[in-house]
């Protein structure tokens, strides 16, 4: 991505057919673990289909490539705006769903990326912490 592109301060990742928030800036910590079901007015499937058209060799790529690359595109306001997914570069509206099926919307303000240090961009995101089952069992004892 060009260095001047902004980014929504969340990370998302595909788990099977579900796109989930795996890290977020502290002000969006309530989104952690939730499924992304819509961005703007588009269902996530439509948003991903639009993002897939951004690949230079879209017709030559497979579904795994799209699943691997789409999370990076879906957190970039410039990409989503160019695709007509978000009407405003200064904010994005994400519809999220928790494991109980409750939906909520969160308006996310993009940030300018900080400088790269040792090949890493530190957005200060809070990750989802998942404890392995064995660890949870030990804690319960």
Is the pLDDT score of 137 beyond 60? no
Is the pLDDT score of 118 beyond 90? no
What is the residue-averaged pLDDT of the chain?
82
pTM: 0.79
Is the pLDDT score of 41 beyond 70? yes
pLDDT at 112: 86
Closest CA to 112 of 40, 31, 2, 5: 5
Contact 24, 10 (CB under 8 A): yes
In sequence order, what DSSP letters do the residues of 70-107 get, joined into one string?
HHHHTT-HHHHHHTTS-S-TT-EEEEEE-TT--EEEEE
Is the pLDDT score of 140 beyond 60? no
pLDDT at 28: 94
């Amino acid at each position: 991505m060009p260095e001047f592109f902004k980014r929504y301060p969340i990370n998302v990742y595909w788990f099977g057919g579900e796109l989930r928030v795996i890290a977020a800036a502290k002000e969006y910590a309530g989104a952690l673990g939730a499924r992304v079901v819509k961005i703007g007015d588009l269902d996530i499937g439509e948003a991903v289909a639009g993002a897939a058209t951004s690949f230079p060799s879209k017709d030559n790529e497979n579904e795994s490539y799209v699943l691997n690359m789409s999370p990076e595109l879906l957190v970039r306001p410039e990409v989503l705006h160019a695709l007509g997914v978000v009407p405003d570069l200064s904010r994005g509206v994400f519809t999220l769903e928790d494991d109980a099926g409750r939906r909520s919307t969160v308006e996310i303000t993009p940030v300018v990326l900080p400088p790269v240090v040792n090949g890493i961009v530190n957005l200060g995101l809070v990750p989802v912490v998942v404890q392995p089952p064995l660890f949870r069992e030990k804690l319960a004892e």
